[in-house]
Structure 1
């Protein structure tokens, strides 16, 4: 058996696309996605344009809107310094719209994601996501070496799984594992492709500021990439502390 490369220190799901993620002590991974991941989106109701923080400054405040799923699986959101509100709903839409400064609405991608009484419109998903986005602390440490003035916070990159592992000098290690298989606890994955980064990574969130040099460093030193996408060979529940091994 291969020795452990590291252990899971962070687990995330993103109930609403582009909004802040929800830290988890454990996640359930099926063949297609993390349970509770990217069930909803946010639109400008005047145009039905879905939020694109990576492309338009008007959406830059969106990653500061917190999200969580209730015990019953209902989405709840909270603007900074605001209370938790059920979503989709008129009250949450008013709060989000006031925070953003224009009329916006949270909507589900599929009818089954919303509460039974939701009768509003659905959103069309703009991309097909890989089941798992994996990032190592070794790659974050390499980014910090390249851009020491910046904050190499995992939240900039929206991973599902963050694995703590020793630094590899001069390397973003998981980018070099494309095509390899790995185990994280009972979860078996194939590393399918590097994660190409976009303008979302430069946007400020709670605890760190807007920083265009973050993306410039990745463009110059790792072909635009940080972290990897993975497909699922065996689904499982993953908990904080689970060890990761290459197979």
Structure 2
């Protein structure tokens, strides 16, 4: 029997790309996606530009906009100090536009993602995402060691699964597992590639500040990478506390 490396301590899905994620007690992982993950995007309606917090300062407030899915799977959003509002919708677009300071709109990537009767435009997905982004607390601890004044908060890196495991001195362990297979509870994964980090990681959110040194540390010490992408060999649901084993 393979040794247990650690246990799941955080599970996340991101109903709208670039907006804040929704922490979960369990997630359902299909062959190509996490259920409820990255169903919507946000655009500047003046030019139909999709939100890119990693590239433009005007989008830096976007990760502070909260998201959640209702029990029926409908998107709701809330700007800081604002109420939860159904999205896509005129009220949510007005609130987001007022918060950002320019006209913006939430739109679905696919028709089936939104509420019945939605007849508005769709967005073209900016990239084909990996099904799972995995991060370990061992890597977070190594980053904190390299940059002790920074806040190595998982929200900077937008993982789906965070696994608590003992720190390995001098190592970002999951980056060294490329090509290996993992079991997390009943879920079977293949670690396909390292996650190359971008400017999103430096952006401040609730509880931590803007910090360019976070990205500089990863460039210098882990070839720009942090965490890993995984493909799904056997879909399953994953709950907090599920154990992780290398196969």
Which interval holds the TM-score relative to the shorter structure?
A: over 0.9
How far, CA to CA, are the matches of 2:131 and 2:18 in structure 1? 17
How far, CA to CA, are the matches of 1:242 and 1:200 in structure 2? 29
Following superposition, which runs of at least 4 residues in structure 1 exceed 3 angstroms of deviation?
Answer: none
Q: Could you list the per-position Cα deviations for residues 12-42 of structure 1 after superposition, in whole angstroms to 9, with x for gaps in the alignment?
A: 0000000000000000000000000000000
- Partner of 1:60 in structure 2? 60
Q: Could you list the per-position Cα deviations for residues 141-190 of structure 1 after superposition, in whole angstroms to 9, with x for gaps in the alignment?
A: 00000000000000000000000000000000000000000100000000
How far, CA to CA, are the matches of 1:91 and 1:82 in structure 2? 11
TM-score with structure 1 setting the length: 1.00
Matches within 5 A, 1:1-247: 1-247=1-247
How far, CA to CA, are the matches of 1:182 and 1:237 in structure 2? 15
User: What are the ranges of 5 or more consecutive residues in structure 2 without an aligned counterpart?
Assistant: none
TM-score with structure 2 setting the length: 1.00
SS at match of 2:4: coil
Q: Report the Cα offset of residue 83 of structure 1.
A: 0.5
Q: Could you list the per-position Cα deviations for residues 225-244 of structure 1 after superposition, in whole angstroms to 9, with x for gaps in the alignment?
A: 00000000000000000000
Q: How many residues align?
A: 247
Q: Report the Cα offset of residue 198 of structure 1.
A: 0.1
Q: Report the Cα offset of residue 2 of structure 1.
A: 1.1
How far, CA to CA, are the matches of 1:91 and 1:81 in structure 2? 15
Q: Report the Cα offset of residue 4 of structure 1.
A: 0.4
Q: CA RMSD in A?
A: 0.3
SS at match of 1:175: helix
How far, CA to CA, are the matches of 2:210 and 2:117 in structure 1? 39
How far, CA to CA, are the matches of 2:57 and 2:19 in structure 1? 15
Q: Report the Cα offset of residue 117 of structure 1.
A: 1.7
Q: Could you list the per-position Cα deviations for residues 190-238 of structure 1 after superposition, in whole angstroms to 9, with x for gaps in the alignment?
A: 0000000000000000000000000000000000000000000000000
